[in-house]
Amino acid sequence: WDEVGMASIAATNDAKAAKLYDYLQASPHFELIPTADYSKMNVCFRLLQHQLTDQLIDFAAEHGIIGIDGHRSIGGFRVSLYNTITLADVNVLIDVLNLFSSKYLD
């Protein structure tokens, strides 16, 4: 990898994390872990209606999103944004979270 390629990957990763964090911060249905613990690679959050966590995990799986079960120490959800995840993938996740919110939370 050259510096230009690495810079491009870093910029893409920054954009993915920013998009997801911005969505979660603006949503009335989710809460993030404390700011000091933010990660660009693993975004951890919870539903404010904790009792629907398993339902959202199942709903996401029905829409092709798997492996978002929460971090072992904080529960909720853990979304990994590794290099193979695209900005389009993040947009799909946000669409699924919006769909779930409109069906079960609004």
Convert the pLDDT of each residue in 20-31 to its tens digit.
999 999 999 999
Please tell me the pTM assigned to this model: 0.91
The confidence score (pLDDT) of residue 74 equals: 78
Tokens coding 36: 């000091």
In this prediction, residues 59-67 reach a mean pLDDT of 97
pLDDT band (50, 70, 90) for residue 59: very high
DSSP labels for the chain?
A: --HHHHHHHHHHHHHHHHHHHHHHHH-SSEEEPPGGG--SSEEEEEESSGGGHHHHHHHHHHTT----EEETTTEEEEEE--TTS-HHHHHHHHHHHHHHIIIII-
pLDDT band (50, 70, 90) for residue 1: low
Tokens coding 34: 């404390």
Of 104 and 72, which is predicted with more confidence? 104
How far is Cα 26 from Cα 51, in angstroms, rounded to an integer?
Answer: 21
